Structure 1
Amino acid sequence: MTMTTALATRDPWSVVPSLGNLDAYIRSVQAIPMLEADEEQALARRLRDQQDLQAASKLVMSHLRLVVSISRQYMGYGLPQGDLIQEGNVGLMKAVKRFDPDQGVRLVSYAMHWIKAEIHEYILKNWRMVKVATTKAQRKLFFNLRSLKHQFKGEADDAHVGRAALSEADIHRVAAELDVRPEDVIEMETRMAGGDVALEAQADDDHDHAPVAPLAYLADEVHEPTRMLDAARRDWLSGQGIASALEGLDERSRHIVEERWLKVNDDGSGGATLHDLAAQYGVSAERIRQIEVAALKKMRKVLEAA
């Protein structure tokens, strides 16, 4: 294989390092030249008409710097930029796949929507363990409330602005600005102000001074599934299960088991002794014990098979 052929068949993604080395990745994508309008049109038509994957790769790679730029706008949510870029790249690939060169717009304008949509979805799924935004109004508030609070509070410290509660007037201003209900603003403000709480105590907590973890008082032991199954099993064994096992015994064995284990005297004491039953049947106490052992073994097999 000649060098020219090797370069032609080389994976175009191999010129970009992995996101594991974020600085090197950003430097590499910044060095990839942007396409001219006529080049972009030609590549988009090759992809649309011929399903040319090399054309798709060139379109994607020439816009990787756009994803990096957009990802910087979402650094305030505590998520790694590498993850944001990765999700944005997914949106970019979706945009390239759906791009129509005959619409009269550049790919950069079309791709911005798809890149932001993927990053938005990733942030909403991962910013908190419990989703904070599910409806359209909540999503709009989630991605705009922080910036609007900055506008209303002035150039204050970001952490302070994030904690500062909105006044009633500010709530109505945000609602009017985003065309949502004031109640939606209050609810989102409350959700974003709250933090995640671990259900279980952390391993490095001081056991003498650590706060009680929610799992200690949220657990419902009465309706815990395993306990309920065990309780149902015990109830069956003590009722229908024992009755079924007894039915498989001969009359003498069943009588001995009932007298020994199931009968309770009026004074609360246990059932008959081996000697009592030996006298009743005219055999030795050892024989009664042997019959009892064999009967219990047979019953155990029946109960284990049920």
Structure 2
Amino acid sequence: MAVSKKAPPPRITHAERVIDAASGITKGELAAYYATVAPSILPHLQGRPVALVRAPDGVGGELFFQKHARHGEIAGIKLLDPALDPGHDPLLQIDTARALLGAAQFNTIELHTWNATSRALGKPDRMTFDLDPGEGVDWQQMQEAALLVHVLLDELALPAFVKTSGGKGLHVVVPLRRQFGWDEVRGFSRAIVEHLARTVPARFVAKSGPRNRVGRIFADYLRNGFGATTACAWSVRARPGLGVSVPLAWEELPDLGSAAHWTVANIGERLAVGNTPWNAMEGSRTALGAAMRMLGYLP
């Protein structure tokens, strides 16, 4: 009987190349980070289309956002059925540590995921709000804003989970039952943000663009459309210092110093906690119908 052999992990070329001048982190050290956090990040990647943010010249260089690939382009990457996104090369999926390292070898720094699984791409299983601070918004205001979003979602009987973005903002995630399509979920997330902007206009704005959010926060609902993505939990961000997007318990939020509280350099202290703050997410999936009625939204 033939014995199957696992493919070896991709070789990381130019491992000594510094990819972030602020921290001195090399390509090899970034690959080692992804190898280390594979048990934590893979549950957030598996079964979902993923987009790669590639930085061949490192942080500060030109970034490439890649949602599609051809066979053999990235070691270990799964190519999805082209019918899922007609007119393009296949969408990508990372299900294994080998694929994760293949992305790192391909100069990937960030990993972004869809709000739906590949097997049910027409019906999102989560709703995401990317709290994006405008000029002049400090970290304490960001913390308070996230808690206000949490309060509103709680009033709508919607479970909410939070994570650092690894950059400047925070991500609030609502786990959903697969009930509505992209247009309905995006439309309702917009209604929530517009309600926030009407209720607390000094803090929130419902329009994107830097000019619109000076001194205020845009709770980005556009992440909830078909093909839109958000940085995955445990993804590194292609910014000076290489911050990491990390799942939190709401009780931890007041004690954090920034949205880039954890970085590639200091992430070791958080690995023991891992995904524990989000353990209840899968069992918290909620239908949106009642919340839509409470807010007066008609899908």
Fold in common (TM above 0.5): no
TM-score (norm 2): 0.24
Q: Which has the larger radius of gyration?
A: 1
Q: Which has the higher helix share?
A: 1
TM-score (norm 1): 0.23
